[in-house]
């Protein structure tokens, strides 16, 4: 079996398993009581950050294709995007459970009063239609509209970044790094749009 | 002095103590980094001896005092206080120290001394966070109190905790404890005390004036713009027992301190 065959056969199962490692490590740490003094906060920060990382990986697929002619990566984009949604959903569930205690009055208030929570929730909400249409049936059914619909990922990335940046307290390093990466990934697309004009 | 906990004694709460390990490994001390685990990791590099405190401004006895001299003849007592962080978590910590008022009296403040300002050490060689280029804080870290707040019997200068000398991550060798205010008011590793007639500008006021006021009294009814202050997580927390509790007005010290703010609009003076 040569490398190409190997990739064709095992690439997707491997990515599926590797992408579950962050979650596995968090669950393991939780069971070992190794999440620190404030485990809720650790879980929220970690799952949120992994959602953003998968979002960035998803966005990186097409520039990687363009810059390095890595055509194979395109096969993995769907799974990366779904994992972004997966980690964002866990993030949301933990917030609802531990911070809001499933109290809708509190949840509504937080959503209305705190812009960073609003943009974070909006990012997750916009991921729902993308997640639900990430199957061949939807791609066939939606035809051209599918592509337009999935352009929402740009807005989602901006909202997710805002969600992070709005929470800066003492250091802006993290927000700066993620912001630069997202900007670079947008840049290639902007060039394309610019050329078309 | 031995601790005698009782329900109506504000100096000793009978709530469960936060374990030593948690109180010394989950800290906000941005001089050593922004992660909660950074202070425990990096504060070992801080040398706290010799240590001196500069006393300036509206006092009869200004000067630079060696910490040892300041501690001579001081009765060290234990206080068990609730500590409420503005980030909505809290702990219960047994401090060792003495009332700030005792120290203030020795400097003989003048009648113009209406406020007191504190500064934390600046020593980038030993304080990793101060070397960061991405910090929003303009060092030194500054805090302040109104004179009546500073003289209040609850206001405490701590030199130890859990029966031991204070560790670097907890603000060694000497730090402030103001239990009815959010934790950031309780400035650590103090090197300067200035008495003034004007309200000093604190570090967090400078960074985000709409989020952090001069008073920063614990108040469940006035939210931080980015998060609610109605509840707090009493640490250590666990996933099975999240220990989410209701935040009390003035962190439960209302009987002792509410009179300091009589007639003030606490929404405006947050």
Helix axes A39-68, A152-165, angle to 10 degrees: 140
A180: contact with B, CB 8 A cutoff: no
Q: Where are the beta strands (DSSP E) in chain A?
A: none
| Interface test mutation site (partner B, options A26, A28, A33, A37, max chain B beta carbons within 10 A) | A37
Please give the average per-residue pLDDT across B162-178, as a whole number.
Answer: 98
Per-residue pLDDT at A148 exceeds 90 = yes
A24: contact with B, CB 8 A cutoff: no
Residues 6+ apart with CB under 8 A from B23: B91, B93, B161, B162, B170
**How many CB atoms neighbour CB A140 within 10 A?**
9
Contact list in B for residue A172 (CB cut-off 8 A) is 134, 136
Per-residue pLDDT at B107 exceeds 60 = yes
pLDDT of residue A137: 95
pLDDT of residue A68: 84
Q: How many Å apart are CA B189 and CA B176, to the nearest integer?
A: 9
* ∠ Cα B154 B158 B161 (to 5°): 110
A116: contact with B, CB 8 A cutoff: yes
CB contact under 8 A, B244 and A101: yes
End-to-end CA, chain B: 35
A168: contact with B, CB 8 A cutoff: yes
pLDDT of residue B7: 58
Cβ pair A48, A91 in contact under 8 A: yes
Question: Which CATH number characterizes residue B159's domain?
Answer: 3.90.420.10
pLDDT of residue B6: 55
Share of chain A above pLDDT 90, in %: 70
Least confident of B2-6, B94-98, B246-250: B2-6
CB contact under 8 A, A171 and B226: no
Cβ pair B174, B193 in contact under 8 A: no
Q: Out of A36, A170, A172, name the one closest to residue B30 (CB).
A: A170
Q: Out of A98, A167, A176, name the one closest to residue B134 (CB).
A: A176
Name the one residue in this structure whose structure tokens are 């109104």: B146
Burial group, residue B199, by CB count within 10 angstroms (0-12, 13-18, 19+)? middle
Domains of chain A: which residue ranges? 3-196
pLDDT of residue B64: 98
pLDDT of residue B227: 79
How far is CA B113 from each of CA A164, B100, B198, B213, B222, rounded to the nearest angstrom?
42, 15, 8, 21, 29
Helix, strand, coil distribution of chain B in percent, nearest 5: 20, 25, 50
Report pLDDT digits (tens) over B56-104. Answer: 999 999 999 999 999 998 999 999 999 999 999 999 999 999 999 999 9
Mean residue pLDDT across chain B: 94
Per-residue pLDDT at A146 exceeds 60 = yes
What is the spatial order of strands in the sheet that B190-196 belongs to? B63-66, B52-57, B190-196, B115-120, B142-146
CB contact under 8 A, A39 and B25: no
- Element housing B56 (H / E): strand B52-57
Q: Out of B34, B37, B242, name the one closest to residue A170 (CB).
A: B34
Share of chain B above pLDDT 70, in %: 97
Contact list in A for residue B25 (CB cut-off 8 A) is 36-37
**How many CB atoms neighbour CB B18 within 10 A?**
22
* Boundaries of domain holding B190: 20-261
| Interface test mutation site (partner A, options B21, B228, B232, B245, max chain A beta carbons within 10 A) | B228
**Please, which residues 2-61 of chain B have a Cβ atom closer than 8 Å to chain A?**
22, 25-26, 30, 34, 36-37
Contact list in B for residue A43 (CB cut-off 8 A) is 239
Please give the average per-residue pLDDT across B117-145, as a whole number.
Answer: 95
Cβ pair B118, B200 in contact under 8 A: no
Q: Out of A36, A37, A116, name the one closest to residue B226 (CB).
A: A116
Burial group, residue B249, by CB count within 10 angstroms (0-12, 13-18, 19+)? middle
* Integer Rg of chain B from CA: 18
Taken as a whole, chain A contains a residue count of 197
* Residue B87 domain flag: yes
Kindly report the pTM of this predicted structure.
0.86
Please, which pLDDT band fits residue B2 given cuts at 50, 70 and 90?
A: very low
Task: Tell me the two tokens of residue B243.
Answer: 């220990």
Cβ pair A163, A122 in contact under 8 A: no
* Residue B220 domain flag: yes
Q: Which residue of A has its CA nearest to B242?
A: A98
Mean residue pLDDT across chain A: 92
CB contact under 8 A, B223 and A171: no
Q: Pairing relation of β-strands B231-234 and B89-99?
A: parallel
B136: contact with A, CB 8 A cutoff: yes
* Residue B162 domain flag: yes
Q: How many Å apart are CA A19 and CA A84, to the nearest integer?
A: 10
Helix axes A173-196, A152-165, angle to 10 degrees: 160
Contact list in A for residue B238 (CB cut-off 8 A) is 33, 39
Report pLDDT digits (tens) over A69-96. Answer: 888 888 999 999 999 999 999 999 999 9
pLDDT of residue B1: 43
* Integer Rg of chain A from CA: 18
* Residue B159 domain flag: yes
pLDDT of residue A1: 65
Domain count, chain B: 1
| Count of A-B CB contacts under 8 Å | 65
CB contact under 8 A, A38 and B225: no
Contact list in B for residue A168 (CB cut-off 8 A) is 136
ipTM given for this complex: 0.78
Please give the average per-residue pLDDT across A18-36, as a whole number.
Answer: 95
* Alpha helices, DSSP H, located in chain B: 20-23, 38-42, 67-71, 100-107, 147-150, 203-207, 254-257
Task: Output phi, psi for B92, to 5 deg.
Answer: -125, 120
SS3 B211: coil
B93 pairs with which residues across the strands? B81
Report pLDDT digits (tens) over B179-192. Answer: 999 999 999 999 99
CB contact under 8 A, A37 and B134: no
B134: contact with A, CB 8 A cutoff: yes
Please, which pLDDT band fits residue A197 given cuts at 50, 70 and 90?
A: low
A103: contact with B, CB 8 A cutoff: no
Contact list in A for residue B206 (CB cut-off 8 A) is none
Q: Out of B26, B226, B227, name the one closest to residue A36 (CB).
A: B26
Of A44, A29, A21, which Cα lies nearest the Cα of A91?
A44
* Residue B125 domain flag: yes
Burial code (b: 16+ CB inside 10 Å, e: under 16) for B138-165 equals ebbbbbbbbbebbbbebbbbbbbbbeee
């Amino acid at each position: 079996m040569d490398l190409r065959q190997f990739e064709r056969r095992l690439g997707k199962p491997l990515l599926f398993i590797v992408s579950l490692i962050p979650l596995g490590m968090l669950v393991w740490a939780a069971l070992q009581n190794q999440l620190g003094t404030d485990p809720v906060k650790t879980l929220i920060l970690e799952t949120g950050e992994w959602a953003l990382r998968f979002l960035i990986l998803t966005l990186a697929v097409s520039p990687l294709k363009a810059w390095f002619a890595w055509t194979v990566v395109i096969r993995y984009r769907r799974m990366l995007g779904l994992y972004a949604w997966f980690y964002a959903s866990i993030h949301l569930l933990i917030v609802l459970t531990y911070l809001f205690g499933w109290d809708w009055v509190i949840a509504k208030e937080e959503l209305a009063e705190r812009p960073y929570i609003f943009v974070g929730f909006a990012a997750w909400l916009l991921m729902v239609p993308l997640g639900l249409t990430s199957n061949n049936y939807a791609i066939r059914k939606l035809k051209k509209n599918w592509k337009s619909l999935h352009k929402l990922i740009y807005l989602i990335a901006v909202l997710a970044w805002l969600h992070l940046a709005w929470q800066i307290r003492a250091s802006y390093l993290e927000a700066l790094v993620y912001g630069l990466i997202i900007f670079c990934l947008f840049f290639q697309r902007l060039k394309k749009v610019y050329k078309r004009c | 002095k031995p601790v005698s906990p009782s329900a109506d004694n504000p100096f000793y709460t009978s709530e469960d103590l936060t374990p030593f390990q948690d109180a010394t490994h989950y800290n906000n001390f941005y001089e050593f980094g922004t992660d909660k685990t950074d202070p425990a990791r990096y504060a070992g590099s801080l040398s706290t001896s010799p240590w001196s405190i500069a006393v300036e401004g509206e006092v009869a006895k200004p000067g630079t005092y060696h910490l040892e001299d300041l501690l001579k003849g001081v009765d060290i007592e234990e206080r068990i206080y609730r500590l409420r962080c503005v980030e909505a978590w809290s702990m219960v910590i047994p401090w060792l120290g003495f009332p700030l008022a005792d120290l203030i009296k020795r400097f003989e403040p003048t009648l113009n001394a209406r406020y007191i300002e504190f500064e934390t050490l600046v020593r980038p060689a030993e304080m990793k966070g101060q070397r960061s280029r991405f910090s929003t804080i303009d060092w030194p870290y500054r805090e302040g109190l109104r004179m009546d707040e500073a003289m209040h019997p609850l206001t405490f200068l701590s030199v130890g905790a859990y029966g031991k000398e204070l560790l670097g991550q907890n603000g060694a060798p000497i730090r402030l404890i103001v239990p009815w205010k959010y934790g950031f008011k309780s400035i650590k590793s103090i090197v300067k005390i200035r008495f003034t007639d004007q309200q000093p500008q604190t570090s967090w006021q400078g960074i985000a004036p709409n989020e952090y006021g001069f008073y920063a009294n614990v108040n469940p009814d006035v939210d931080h713009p980015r998060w609610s202050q109605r509840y707090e997580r009493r640490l250590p927390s666990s996933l099975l027992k999240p220990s989410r509790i209701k935040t009390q007005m003035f962190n439960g010290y209302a009987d002792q301190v509410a009179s300091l703010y009589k007639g003030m609009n606490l929404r405006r003076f947050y």
